[in-house]
Structure 1
Amino acid sequence: MSDLQQTLDRIAGAPDLHSLDAVRVEALGKSGWVTALLKTLGGMTPDERQQRGPEIQGIRNAVSDAIAARKEQLEAQELDRRLATERLDLSLPAPTRPAGTIHPVSQVMDELAEIFADLGFAVAEGPEIEDDWHNFTALNMPESHPARAMHDTFYCEPLDGEPARVLRTHTSPVQIRAMMKHGAPLRVIAPGRVYRSDSDATHTPMFHQVEGLVIDKAIHMGHLKWTLETFLKAFFERDDVAIRMRPSYFPFTEPSAEVDVGWSMEKGRRVVGGQEGWMEVLGSGMVHPSVLAAAGLDPDEWQGFAFGTGIDRLAMLKYGMNDLRQFFDGDIRWLKHYGFSALAVPTLSAGVGA
């Protein structure tokens, strides 16, 4: 019996894919007998090669075709066997798969947007790389103001013929852009990333801030106080949230006030609510006439209030984190612990009470 016929018989009788692959290696592998025949073509004369070449190539094709056909048969037989023997219990729970979570900062941004939407505020956005005028000058900050110092602000390398650029130190420039674009009356919040040269347990070079702005006629501090009380009660989901306003100074508001919120101890943890102590959470005030004028509004006709707070700080107070730097470490364990399910309701469902 010829080598070809023996090989074809072994292929046809191969009981499984492993045995079939062994036959393939013996015939078509580096040391296989068909490969050896193909190598002899190199030492033949052109006439011999013309005569023997088609015959050897036909042997190779016959073996390859037989292996492919038998492989298809064995795979079909294996599939039939699995279909006949394997069972799937549909009552068993589906296997769990890795799932991402919503970052606390994104969660709080959603909550803020919902609360202020109930109060009639729109969301405004602006560039994170700002020019000097929007970030400082239009906000009533003279050239000598400490906020312009290098230890507070990240300055970008200036380009020829262009004004100085900075990584915005607050989202207040968005207020300027919103007033210039939409005029008055106006009611917006401006959430987003901001940058300052600072780093410790409660400060990072990049953090998140939200600011609010209301421009209308006959606006006064009472409107500001009511807005902040309503916002804080809705955000912390407690009716016993108390605030106090202390005189302060900001160049873009006059008068200005720091806002403290009352806290109490519950189960060994400090929580917002009650009045066992006070902690600062917001800066606020009536918009300075110079800021209104810089944005193209008449200070004699329009007035308003503004406020700002750190989104990361709000998240820490509400959800019990104690180190701001962990927000940006990318530790999957921290994200799994403090993150929110994407399938859960991501924002407050009760809304803002009257």
Structure 2
Amino acid sequence: MSGPNSDYDPVEVTPLKAEEVDAMREAALAAIATAPDLDALKHARTEHAGDRSPLALANREIGALPPQARKEAGMRIGQARSAVNQALAARQEVLEAEHEERMLVEETVDVTLPWDRTPVGARHPLTTLSERIGDVFVGMGWEVAEGPVVEAEWLNFDALNLGPDHPARTMQDTFWMEPADNAIVLRTHTSPVQARTMLTREPPIYVVCPGRVFRTDEFDATHSPVFHQVEGLVIDEGITMAHLKGTLDHFAASMFGDGITTRFRPSYFPFTEPSAEVDLRCFVCRGQEPAVQSCRTCRGEGWIEWGGCGVVNPRVLVACGVDPDRYTGFAFGMGIDRTLMFRHGAEDMRDMFEGDVRFTTAFGSEI
């Protein structure tokens, strides 16, 4: 820094000349105005407003001026530095606003997009199919009835005309609760719900009963000790097998598509008389030649076994307090697990119960 002068010497204070100060200011304002982002503005601030900037160094030269010249030079430098600082503040505000707008665009998160940080859950297909079946019958004016899975022996067997010597009562078919003297079982079918309904309601009765049942079956591709059934019961005046056939045809079409019908084959069940096995028209080949000959689903039969049905046995009506001379009815039962396998081509029943999420998520979260 130059030493103090007693006289004004413009040669020694060239940075303080008006044209030099104006040039420094214009250079600073130009650098600030053209700064494209906050990082560039930060560099311009250091270069033109920092401690080593031209204006800062020129400010230090004021002390070298004679007293009568310091005021004018100080005002010139001060005005220039003030203009630079104002330009910096204005440019800072503009660039920060642009930065925030850019961040809103570039870093926007679409909360409606799928995400995989936590896997999306899914409802079990047996649950959704049970509810779909219930909806079919509710749409026909029926009701959905439920009952306990731990059931009294009388409701599970006796009320349904399964006598004391019936083989279904043995340990080979039934899970008995201890102690055995209590005569409590895990229900082997959902028919006890039908018995409970007849005992607690007056006809007419139109109910469908989906739920879990238990039998001492092996756990393999087509059997499980825990599986799901849906049973239907109608008790009213003038009910015939024709009503049963029409109901099951509508049920079949709702599950497997328009045009799918059923047929009856004579059979025997203790709680219905007459009784029939229900076959389902093959929903793959539809029993049509020549596709039926090579159909792997029905194995060339054109029909698939689906469940059982029949007219409610008068003994069951009497046991449940219904007048058999006034009322008749029909009942049917199908496996929900088998229906699911038919509808979706599942080949192994174990996939439904082993808890592998890959099986469940394939069906989504249908409600």
Cα distance change of structure 1 residues 123 and 319 upon mapping to structure 2, 3 Å threshold: same
Match of 1:32 in 2: none
Which residue is equivalent to 1:299? 324
Paired residue for 1:165?
184
1:341 aligns to what?
365
Select the structure with the greater relative contact order (CA < 8 A; seq sep ≥ 6): 1
Moved over 2 A (4+): 83-95, 264-272, 339-342
How far apart in 1 are the matches of 2:245 and 2:303?
16
What is the SS of the residue equivalent to 1:341?
A: coil
Q: Match for residue 202 of structure 1?
A: 222
Per the alignment, in what secondary structure is the counterpart of residue 157 of structure 1? coil
- 1:318 Cα offset (Å): 0.5
The equivalent residue for 1:192 is 211
1:288 to 313, 321, 324: 313
- C-alpha distance in 2 between matches for 1:251 and 1:341: 39
> Which protein shows a greater Rg?
2
Match of 1:320 among 338, 345, 351: 345
Retained in 1: the 8 A contact 2:175–2:215? Answer: yes
The aligned residue for residue 13 of structure 1 is none
User: What is residue 351 of structure 1 aligned with on the other side?
Assistant: none
What CA distance in whole angstroms lies between the structure 1 residues aligned with 2:284 and 2:246? 25
Superposed counterparts of 1:253-268, under 5 Å: 253-263=272-282, 265=284
Q: 234, 237, 249: which one pairs with 1:214?
A: 234
Name the structure 1 match of 2:68.
none
Matched residue type, 2:107? D
TM-superposed deviation, 1:95: 5.6
> Distance between the aligned counterparts of 2:133 and 2:283, measured in 1?
23
Residue identity matched to 1:277: G
Unmatched runs of 5 consecutive residues or more in structure 2: 1-95, 286-290
Change (3 A) 1:94 1:244: closer
Q: CA 1:265/1:117 → structure 2, altered by over 3 Å: closer, same or farther? A: closer
Shift of 1:91: 6.7
Letter in 2 for 1:287: V
| Paired amino acid for 1:132 | E
Q: Is residue 249–residue 262 contact of structure 2 (8 Å, CA) maintained in 1?
A: yes
Q: CA deviation at 1:240?
A: 2.0
Question: What's the counterpart of residue 231 of structure 1?
Answer: 251
**Residue 265 of structure 1: how far off its partner (Å):** 4.1
Match of 2:154 in 1: 133
* Identity of matched residues, %: 49
Matches within 5 A, 1:64-213: 89-90=107-108, 94=113, 96-97=115-116, 98-158=119-179, 163-199=182-218, 200-213=220-233
SS of the residue 1:133 aligns to: helix
| Deviation (angstroms), 1:110 | 1.5
In 2, the alpha carbon distance for the partners of 1:211 and 1:186 equals: 13
**How big is the shift at 1:261?**
0.9
Preserved contact between residue 171 and residue 190 of structure 1 (Cα < 8 Å): yes
TM-score normalised to the size of structure 1? Answer: 0.68
SS of residue in 2 equivalent to 1:230: helix
* 3-state SS of 2:304 partner: strand
1:116-157 Cα deviation digits (max 9, x unpaired): 011111010111001110000000011110111111000000
Residue 303 of structure 2 aligns with which residue? 278
| Match of residue 54 from structure 1 | none
Corresponding residue of 2:33 = none
Secondary structure at the residue paired with 2:178? Answer: coil
What amino acid does structure 2 have at the position aligned with 1:180? L
- How big is the alpha-carbon RMSD for the aligned residues of Structure 1 and Structure 2? 2.4
Aligned residue type for 1:220: T
1:30-76 deviations in whole A, cap 9, x for unaligned?
xxxxxxxxxxxxxxxxxxxxxxxxxxxxxxxxxxxxxxxxxxxxxxx
Cα deviation, residue 332, structure 1: 1.4
CA contact (8 A) 1:263 1:270 kept: no
Aligned with 2:182: secondary structure? coil
Cα gap change, 1:265 to 1:210, in 2 (>3 Å): closer
| Paired residue secondary structure (1:99) | coil
Distance 1:318 1:122, change over 3 A: same
Q: Distance in 2 between matches of 1:305 and 1:233?
A: 19
Structure 2 counterpart of 1:89, one-letter code: E
Determine if contact 1:316/1:322 at 8 Å carries over to the other structure: yes
For 1:235 and 1:265, locate their aligned partners in 2 and report how far apart those are by CA, in whole Å. Answer: 13
Preserved CA contact (<8 Å) 2:260 2:283 = no
2:70 is matched with which residue?
A: none
2:114 and 2:304 map into 1 onto residues whose CA distance is 46
TM-score (norm: length of structure 2): 0.65
Q: Is the 8 A contact 2:153 2:185 kept in 1?
A: yes
Letter in 1 for 2:351: Q
Deviation at 1:239, TM superposition (A): 1.9
Report the CA distance between 1:107 and its aligned residue: 1.4
User: Number of residue pairs matched?
Assistant: 256
Work out whether residues 280 and 305 of structure 2, in 8 Å CA contact, stay in contact via their aligned partners in 1: yes
Letter in 1 for 2:333: G
Contact 1:271 1:318 in 2 (8 A): no
Letter in 2 for 1:245: F
